[in-house]
Amino acid sequence: MHPGFVDLLRCPVTQERLSLRVDRESSNGMVERGMLMTQSGREYPIIRGIPRFVSSERYASSFGYEWNRWPRAQFEAENIGRPMEGHTTRMFERITEAHPGRIDGKTIVEFGCGPGRFLDVVRRKGGIAVGVDMSQAVDVARRNFADDSNVLIVQGDVLRPPFARGVFDGGYSIGVLHHTPDPAAGVRALAGVIRQGGWIGVCVYTRGKFYDYASVKRVREAHLRLKRSFGYGPALAYAWLSAGVISPVLQRLKRFAKLKRAVEHLEQNWIVSLGLKDRRWRFLDIFDAITPEIASTHDEEELLSWLGEAGCEDARRTAFCATSATGTAGSAAGSAMPVQCAA
């Protein structure tokens, strides 16, 4: 981490400011190992360049496994000339509606950053990118951005974020809060770290759609039972079989009008299948769907109510799906603080 980010950080328990002790730094001034300390005596280590505010992945362990296995599969640079080229950027833009003027030169936070594919979009749009995640995916994200001094990766709990209030110009959470015990609390936490007038974008799983299918729930429940004895092996095998064999066959069968309804019934109730054009993305997204410990689904009204309760103004649905929305942080978010990182 760059030392200039310290002013953004706070103790997630007491909201005290943190002082930095540097034990090892790289040649360009990045802190590789050290300690963040409060005046009251709490300490948080910096390990491999990442401030660590949690000691366990808890319910997020599947994502640590997933992103260590597929660290850059959804990054734009890895998809040039492939079927999903541009998808990550389009997805970000349709969910957040954050135009370049709201990102370039601004400090933007992501709640649940995983390996950092959306942080990469923020960086390519000129923003200073801060990502927080509970899982070991933070180590992947740190490697993905190497020594970029305008990126901060933090291991922490999005329901109790280790940031000062009102410190960011904008922030978002895409496909993450439904994996926490309290998504509404996650929206409130996100809104709390955005300055007044800053933008907020949120996307969660939609009730009645793919992640809510009976087939997905059945396979997920089977995985969680088998995981105790066999780890992720059965889930990997299922995802490989579906992505490589079953999904392509079912997509072809749906081209026949007389079979389409029967195939859709099969997909919704018994077999997890996706029609994504890139086999790697099918494999990854099927695995992602069937392995989380927590995966709730929601509707538009529910998401908009969370934003309203969090003090967001002008909350409204965005184009990506029924449960993607944006809003503007109200006065409860506080005022922003400047960040001094790379020149």
* Predicted pLDDT of residue 58: 87
Give the mean model confidence (pLDDT) for residues 311-334. Answer: 90
Domain that holds residue 69: 3-207+297-333
Question: Do 163 and 23 reside in the same domain of the chain?
Answer: yes
Residue 274 placed within a domain: yes
Question: Do 114 and 249 reside in the same domain of the chain?
Answer: no
Q: CA 95, CA 327: separation in Å to the nearest integer?
A: 11
Q: CA 297, CA 211: separation in Å to the nearest integer?
A: 7
What pTM, to 2 d.p., does this model score?
0.95
Split at pLDDT 50, 70, 90, the class of 333 is very low
Residue 341 placed within a domain: no
Name the 3-class secondary structure at 278: coil
Question: Do 108 and 245 reside in the same domain of the chain?
Answer: no
Instruction: Please count the structural domains in the chain.
Output: 2
Residue 129: strand pairing partners: 108, 151
Instruction: Render pLDDT for 136-191 as a digit per residue (tens, 0 to 9).
Output: 999 999 999 998 999 999 999 999 999 999 999 999 999 999 999 999 999 999 99
* Predicted pLDDT of residue 334: 43
Question: Do 67 and 198 reside in the same domain of the chain?
Answer: yes
Question: Do 284 and 305 reside in the same domain of the chain?
Answer: no
Question: Do 254 and 323 reside in the same domain of the chain?
Answer: no
Q: Please count the other Cβ atoms lying within 10 Å of the Cβ belonging to residue 191.
A: 26
Question: Do 163 and 223 reside in the same domain of the chain?
Answer: no
CATH number of the CATH domain containing 107: 3.40.50.150
Residue 23 placed within a domain: yes
Residue 245 placed within a domain: yes
N- to C-terminal Cα separation, the chain = 15
Query: 280 near 157, Cβ under 8 Å?
Result: no
Does residue 336 register a pLDDT over 90? no
Q: CA 111, CA 186: separation in Å to the nearest integer?
A: 8
Split at pLDDT 50, 70, 90, the class of 28 is confident
Residue 340 placed within a domain: no
Residues 6+ apart with CB under 8 A from 43: 35, 36, 37
Residue 338 placed within a domain: no
Residues 6+ apart with CB under 8 A from 48: 32, 33, 139, 142
DSSP string, 32-59: EEEEEE-TTS-EEEEETTEEB--S--GG
Question: Do 147 and 224 reside in the same domain of the chain?
Answer: no
Residue 150 placed within a domain: yes
